[in-house]
């Protein structure tokens, strides 16, 4: 029997004798979609019959039947600028695909009266309930930028306002807890974050 040129050697010691598949790009122009996290995706031929494709992706299972593309650090702004905040603000659900922790930034400006803002992270459990897993140690009572690092094993505060050794779950939300008289105690608030690998 003649050797099959596209056979892949699946057993035996990791040496070169035997049939194997040599992977070589068949076009020098990647045609990957920016949203699919494809490492390499080359096309050959004119499409349709006779076209050839090579795709390399990195994915991970987060639950049974739930395959997600591997992501790097992801930035977002769960709570955009809200001038004159005089009530607690709650973000929508945030999705964490494969991150371990987050860097959280809260900006306050144009403070009037005596309001305070206390950042909080809540985990959404499988029953749809929100559970507070972290609350900042100190309320924010002045204009400025506060940065928090929530990450397993984090130890050195360095330039962070606060560091907490905690993991970030699959689904969570950000809460800025307001305290004040609800009328003249106001402050502009913004919150952004980055999910960290």
DSSP 45: T
pLDDT at 114: 96
Same domain, 20 and 91: no
Determine contact, residues 167/153, Cβ cutoff 8 Å.
Answer: no
Q: At 109, which CATH number?
A: 2.60.120.380
| Residue 68: inside a domain | no
pLDDT (tens digit, 0 to 9) for every residue of the chain, 197 residues total?
Answer: 455 444 444 444 444 444 444 444 444 444 444 444 444 444 444 444 455 555 556 777 766 667 777 788 899 999 999 999 999 999 999 999 889 999 999 999 999 999 999 999 999 999 999 999 999 999 999 999 999 999 999 887 789 999 999 999 999 999 999 999 999 999 999 999 999 98
Same domain, 16 and 51: yes
Q: How many domains is the chain partitioned into structurally?
A: 2
Same domain, 24 and 79: no
Q: What is the pTM of this model?
A: 0.71
With a CB cutoff of 8 Å and minimum separation 6, the contacts of 193 are 75, 76, 77, 78, 94, 102, 103, 104, 105, 174
Determine contact, residues 69/56, Cβ cutoff 8 Å.
Answer: no
| Domain boundaries, position 22 | 1-57
CA atoms of 115 and 59, how far apart (whole Å): 45
Same domain, 101 and 42: no
pLDDT at 56: 59
| Residue 145: inside a domain | yes
Same domain, 184 and 103: yes
Of 11, 27, 57, the position where a domain reaches its end is 57
Taking only the tens place, the pLDDT of each residue in 42-97 is 444 444 445 555 555 677 776 666 777 778 889 999 999 999 999 999 999 999 98
Same domain, 117 and 178: yes
Dihedrals phi, psi of 48, to nearest 5 degrees: 65, -145
């Amino acid at each position: 029997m003649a050797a099959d040129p596209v056979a892949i050697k699946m057993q035996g010691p990791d040496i070169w004798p035997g049939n194997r598949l040599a992977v070589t790009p068949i076009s020098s122009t990647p045609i990957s979609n920016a949203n699919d996290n494809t490492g390499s995706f080359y096309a050959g031929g004119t499409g349709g019959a006779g076209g050839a494709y090579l795709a390399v992706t990195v994915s991970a299972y987060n639950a049974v039947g739930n395959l997600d593309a591997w992501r790097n650090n992801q930035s977002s702004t769960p709570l955009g600028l809200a001038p004159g905040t005089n009530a607690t603000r709650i973000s929508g659900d945030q999705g964490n695909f494969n991150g371990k922790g987050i860097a959280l930034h809260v900006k306050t400006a144009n403070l009037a009266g005596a309001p305070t803002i206390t950042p909080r992270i809540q985990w959404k459990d499988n029953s749809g309930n929100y559970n507070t897993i972290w609350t900042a140690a100190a309320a924010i009572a002045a204009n400025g930028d506060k940065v928090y690092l929530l990450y397993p094993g984090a130890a050195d505060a360095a330039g962070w306002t606060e560091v907490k050794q905690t993991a970030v779950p699959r689904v969570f939300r950000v809460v800025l807890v307001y305290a004040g008289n609800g009328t003249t105690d106001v402050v502009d608030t913004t919150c952004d974050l980055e999910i960290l690998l």
